[in-house]
């Protein structure tokens, strides 16, 4: 839930960094925000599940949180670089406005890169805190 709400807010806030902000109708902008937020959620789930499949164990999230978080963020960044290149450079599905800072030499926008560092990190940190507050669901024999 933290990831979903955070991605939705991020997508809305970063709208002026894309040309859609000045070229599209309110309906098209709303659709783009919802579409991109749904994509963000799928990316977040895929990178987390992939990380857990590769290096996770049954003790997660009580153990190995930093390794999982690191691989999840890395996976999100790699996908973001690929997706931004594909959609801005090859397909032309979207474009950056003059307000979007980009990282040379790859030309990826700074905002989507920051999104995939900050939001998964915050969401996984919150998940770790929550898991520490939940008592063990497996009662000891005799309880």
In this predicted model, what pLDDT tens digit does every residue of 27-73 receive, in sequence order?
999 999 999 999 999 999 999 999 999 999 888 877 888 899 999 99
Greater model confidence, 34 or 140: 34
Which residue has 């807010």 as its token pair?
A: 9
What confidence score (pLDDT) does residue 143 get?
A: 46
Q: Which residue intervals of 14-140 are DSSP H helices?
A: 20-23, 26-55, 65-84, 110-133
pTM: 0.85
Greater model confidence, 85 or 141: 85
- Contact of 22 with 97, CB cutoff 8 Å: yes
């Amino acid at each position: 839930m933290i990831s979903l709400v955070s991605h939705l807010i991020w997508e809305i806030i970063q709208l002026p960094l894309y040309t859609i902000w000045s070229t599209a109708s309110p309906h098209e902008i709303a659709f783009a925000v919802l579409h991109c937020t749904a994509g963000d959620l799928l990316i977040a789930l895929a990178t987390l599940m992939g990380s857990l499949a590769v290096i996770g164990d049954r003790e997660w999230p009580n153990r190995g949180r930093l390794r999982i978080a690191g691989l999840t963020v890395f996976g999100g960044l790699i996908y973001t670089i690929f997706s931004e290149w594909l959609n801005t450079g090859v397909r032309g599905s979207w474009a950056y406005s003059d307000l979007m800072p980009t990282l040379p030499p790859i030309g990826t926008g700074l905002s989507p890169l920051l999104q995939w560092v900050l939001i998964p990190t915050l969401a996984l940190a919150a998940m770790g805190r929550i898991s520490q507050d939940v008592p063990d669901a497996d009662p000891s024999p005799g309880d």
